[in-house]
Amino acid sequence: MTSKLTRTTLTGFVPAVVTPFKPDGAIDEPAFAALVDWLIGLGATSICVAGDNGESWNLDVDERARLTRLAVDAARGRVPIATGVSAPSARQTIKYAQAVVEAGAQGLLVLPQPYVLKATRDELVRRFAALARAVDVPIVLYNSPRRSSGIELTVDDVDAIMNAAPVIGIKEASRDFFHHTHMIERFAGRMSIMVGPCHFILPGLALGAHGYIATGPELLGKLAARLPEIARAAPGAEYADAHFKLTRLYEMMMGTGTWPSALKAALNLIGQPAGVPREPVMPLAGAELEKVTRVMRSCGLVA
């Protein structure tokens, strides 16, 4: 079996898999397993379950655990599985973490306190220290001010958290490339820096990030796993083409419908069983679906 997620195995292409729902809101378990298998076939080095793409805000503790077990079974030891366990309180985060670890998760993806308007450094450190005491599993920090009510982990916050918990990496999803630059410069030798926004992937990898946990690269097929290789070579036509496609896809997905309806629509267009979003998010139709199709065609991904 694959060892626990580590700083050295958290690298390359790490997709946050969507959770396919049926029209009645039930999880389509065979479709989810098929998506995990497809992503590993594309070259994924790990799989992230119950992240933003997985509509984690709409999953209860039992569903997170069930999805984790399905992913572990589908992976068959080929790659580690990390599961998102973020909740406003440390107590609820620990409850999620214990359930998914029991189900086989080999790592945890964790935001600062979501829905809490601000947090002191002591509050941040206490949150992650409590999680570390409750479960003996590597932690991947998730810095996304948009998902945590504006709380942004500074480099000094990250340093303090690393001294209190077994942090092996970070999904850096700030929209500020200055911030990405400082994170890579300060921490690339201490943990795995994973880029979030699609349009930062290639420059971030070129500067020393170790990989990415992002939305959209899987639509590029096996090119997704080659992005680190492309980024670290001398920039050329392939670098530019990949960057422009990633940028168009990211803008389309972030600007069409309610997240993650556009990603699910795009996956369905390429024949992957992404299902529909769970209520209150509605699937795309009409002009919005046409927009997704148009952008996918412009990238040469559908006929």
Nearest partner of 115 among 138, 147, 161, judged by Cα: 147
CA distance 186 to 134: 28
CA distance 181 to 183: 5
CB 212 within 8 A of CB 194: yes
User: Mapping DSSP to helix (H, G, I), strand (E, B) and coil, where does residue 218 land?
Assistant: helix
Q: How many CB atoms lie within 10 A of CB 212?
A: 30
- Annotated active-site positions, please? 142, 171
Q: Are strands 12-13 and 47-49 parallel, antiparallel or unpaired?
A: unpaired
CA 184 to chain CA centroid, Å, is: 18
Q: How many CB atoms lie within 10 A of CB 290?
A: 11
